[in-house]
Amino acid sequence: MQTIHIQLEDRSYPIYIGEGLLTQIKLIESHLKQKYVAIVTNTTVAPLYLDPLLHGLKQHGIKAFPIILPDGEVYKNQETLNLIYDALLKEKCERTTTLIALGGGVIGDMTGYAAATYLRGVPFIQIPTTLLSQVDSSVGGKTGINHPLGKNMIGAFYQPQCVIADIDTFKTLPQREFSAGMAEVIKYGLIRDEAFFDWLEKNIEGLMKLNPSLLIEAIKRSCQNKADVVEMDEHESGVRATLNLGHTFGHAIENAMGYGVWLHGEAVAAGMVMAAHLSKLMGWLKDHEFNRIVKLLKEAKLPIDPPNMSEDQYLKLMSMDKKVVDGKIRLVLQKGIGDSCITSDYNPNHLKTALNTQKFSA
């Protein structure tokens, strides 16, 4: 097992990464304030991992009750969030009751937001079951829900007690979901870690075949990159915004297509290509660097061509992004592989070209 520590003073916590961690109940027990937990999961994950977790907790004298939500990004909303509150209130949960998020990014985001707001704050633990949630959404304390007018527009920064990333859950993860997670892994190499990008290029075949040692290394390096950024800028007032490479384009794609039609990682992958294209048009990214980015995303079985959306559609949706400042759309762009910047100082004509280019694949 590998352990990474997020250093945030009294909000610090560990990330445990390895195989068979779901059966290591002592990892959970050591972070509980009382032996009573609520497990929030969904209809897809529950049949796979809920009963073994409940059994393990019971063996350690920990009482637990499940809250099973419908599965899908389309349910990441206030109505579904209320189902969590309803269950917590019905069970008369107190401030020492810990919520456990057992599932992917949607479950993690909603459970974290419920924990941040129920009784004005109760502890929670992240047990992410997808690659995307293990390297991204479960780390750093971003929680929240979607609004019909924008993705993740309602939420809070709220740190977990710990994150338990068990790579054994990938054995039941569909290929498409795994690839979606690889988009966020590749992102870390692009924004700040050229050596990691090089490593990914050399090991992408083994990663796609779920080689355990490679997976643990990729998750560890991804989480460490995110930890370094979060420790510098917990509330995204500066450098943390670079973690949103491809996301402004990607969120527009998710919103326009309908949440869940494109997976988050798929939309981010296409968005990263669009950001790289704009960076190339600005003269910041060389042709061979752009080609390396496209090649690696393709090898990870990710889409590189955006959907057929109009320029006006993109601009309308991008203007509602959280990174808009004084009415200007700020974008994360590339100065090279491993070198990114946050800027609204780009040529608007180049942005239009990027938005109107529908095909990057050969």
Helical spans, DSSP H, in 6-150: 25-29, 51-59, 78-90, 105-117, 131-132
Given the residues 264, 277, 323, 330, the one annotated as active site: 264
Q: Residue 307: name the closest of 317, 293, 296 by CA.
A: 317
Given the residues 31, 221, 251, 323, the one annotated as active site: 251
Clarify whether 247 is annotated catalytic: yes
Q: Residue for token digits 């897809």?
A: 44
Clarify whether 91 is annotated catalytic: no
Given the residues 76, 220, 240, 330, the one annotated as active site: 240
β-pair partners for 103: 128
Clarify whether 77 is annotated catalytic: no
Clarify whether 288 is annotated catalytic: no
Residue 14 is classified by DSSP as E
Clarify whether 79 is annotated catalytic: no
Q: Residue 164: name the closest of 20, 64, 21 by CA.
A: 21
Clarify whether 264 is annotated catalytic: yes
Given the residues 247, 277, 280, 330, the one annotated as active site: 247
To the nearest 10°, the Cα dihedral for 208, 212, 214, 217? 130
Whole-number Å distance between alpha carbons of 82 and 64: 20
Q: Residue 246: name the closest of 295, 190, 326, 197 by CA.
A: 190
- Which residue type occupies 152? N
Clarify whether 120 is annotated catalytic: yes
3-state helix, strand, coil in the chain (%, to 5): 50, 20, 30
Clarify whether 194 is annotated catalytic: no
Q: How distant, in Å, are the alpha carbons of 16, 192, 287, 296, 338 from that of 197?
A: 23, 9, 17, 9, 8
First to last CA, the chain: 41
- Residue 66 · residue 46 · CB < 8 Å: yes
Q: Residue for token digits 């109009």?
A: 310
Which is it for strands 339-343 and 331-336: parallel, antiparallel or unpaired? antiparallel
Given the residues 42, 152, 225, 244, the one annotated as active site: 244
β-pair partners for 36: 63
Given the residues 146, 192, 220, 236, the one annotated as active site: 236
Whole-number Å distance between alpha carbons of 174 and 32: 32
Given the residues 184, 254, 266, 289, the one annotated as active site: 184
Given the residues 92, 120, 209, 359, the one annotated as active site: 120
SS3 330: coil
Task: Answer left, alpha or beta for residue 100, where phi above 0 means left and psi between -120 and 50 means alpha.
Answer: beta
Active site residues: 120, 142, 184, 226, 236, 240, 244, 247, 251, 264
